[in-house]
Structure 1
Amino acid sequence: MSDPRTPVVLIHGLWLHAGSWQPWIDLAAERGYAPLAPGWPGEPATVAEARRHPEAVAGLGIDDVTNHYAGIIRTLDRPPVLIGHSFGGLIAQKLLGAGLGRAAVAIDPAQIKGVKALPPAQLRAGFPVLGNPANRRRAVSLTAAQFRYGFGNALPSDESDDLHARLTIPSPGRPLFEAAFANFVRRSPAAVATDNADRGPLLMISGQADHTVPDVVTRSAYKLYGDSPAVTELKQFPDRGHSLVVDHGWRTVAEYALQWLAREGIHGRDTSRA
């Protein structure tokens, strides 16, 4: 008999290691789901090792990462729930639009093709990568100050610095360039099938104090789904920044996501699909 638990695939974004999902894994398992948080292709198993070997992920693009997760999903015995943060949120949307997920939660998702909003805070947060075209082929690290602006601006400085010290890793610059120029490329990897009427339900979550993916960017992406009759919802968390999946308030976000799944009829144990 196959596992009756609903799988949940957690997809991280730039600068956070897959291990940053551990509290979410524990909570989802407690609620009866079968969670897994695979790293990006080539990502070392630990934060320390990832910092020693930035070349392991240098040059990866959106399609590389999307195809990696698609391959993992195809090994599962049933369609999973997809939960992604930042570029993981963009990838979760791509996978859902391609019919590879039962539902998706995109948290502070990186901008998809068609989003035209470009707030100054987003430009500043992306400058450590986008400021040097050579970073398209490199893996780039954030300093504690850069992390505090892009991720931890809604946190006390000591909490932001602690998250930076424990969880951050070098990440490829290429996805940022691909997203930044998506509206100028006919077949951009940042394109999402927003008009897919047959996909599963999608929840978009925005931290309204986010500098890396400002609220206006998430709202603009949400509006692109307006022509699809498939379920699409938006939840905004006031005074939360880009760190909302890993900081002291992570559980509030996680609980909301799991409650939304329950309202959509997607529970941890799904004996009807066994």
Structure 2
Amino acid sequence: MARVDVGAWEARSRPRRRSLVLGGGILLVLALVAVFAPVVAGHDPLAQDPANLLADPSWRHPLGTDHLGRDIWARLVHATRIDLPVAFLAVLAPFCLGTALGLVAGYLGSFADSLFMRIGEVVLAFPFNVLVIALVFVCGSGVTGILIAFTAVGWVSYLIIVRGEVLTEKRQEYVLAARALGYSRRRILLRHLLPNVITQAIVYAMSDIVMTITTIVALGFLGLGIAPPTPEWGSMIADGTEFLVTHWPLATAPGIAVALTGWGFSLLGDGLADLLRVE
């Protein structure tokens, strides 16, 4: 029996553990900030103070105030409650839809496979961001419009990933044995194939959510996202561009929040990809 080099294995596992811990830690902090936003913020994010317009950072207002006298820190914290859940749902919906269709298309083949792939090719013919913006414009701004747009466009990637994995796995002995034993298609798909093909889709979802967050922020910047005065990172950046030189926290703070969130998900995705990779 070959000897296992424990030291080499531990050396290879350290980077993946660091990525998982650091990425998970960043996201955990952001989640706690979102859950306890009223406590962390310290101010009402919608309260206006005409006497303190564009105030400089102070003990009372750590990041100052915006052009309407609203506390920037409070709005930044409360925006976490909006952007993170919306981004998560905007990835979860196409993830579930694309995974289900990929299972069916890859396992059944024939008409179902051709139908789903042709529809997917039509969707992929258009640039992702352009199609999302167009659908949000048609469906209306707000959470509902954003979720419809991302679901209508994002499912194709998960369909392709899962379908490819199913085409490989359905020829394996455990699937052939399940068929020989007379198991139903539903049982084979959900209990045998799904656990073995879902890994790549999960890893992709971690990178997909980064792109989703940036797109949602871009929609808010263009005025197609969450309607004001609800605090949202994209609209905060848009409001702050006019005062970028004189009052930089107004636009820079939400930009840093977006970058930090994307970094956390990227690290988590890298760690998961290394951890789940078969060596």
Question: TM-score range, shorter-chain basis?
Answer: under 0.3
What is the TM-score of this pair, normalised by structure 1?
A: 0.25
Give the number of the structure whose residues are more often helix, by fraction.
Answer: 2
Question: Whose strand proportion is higher, 1 or 2?
Answer: 1
State which structure, 1 or 2, has the greater radius of gyration over its C-alpha atoms: 2
TM-score by length of 2: 0.24
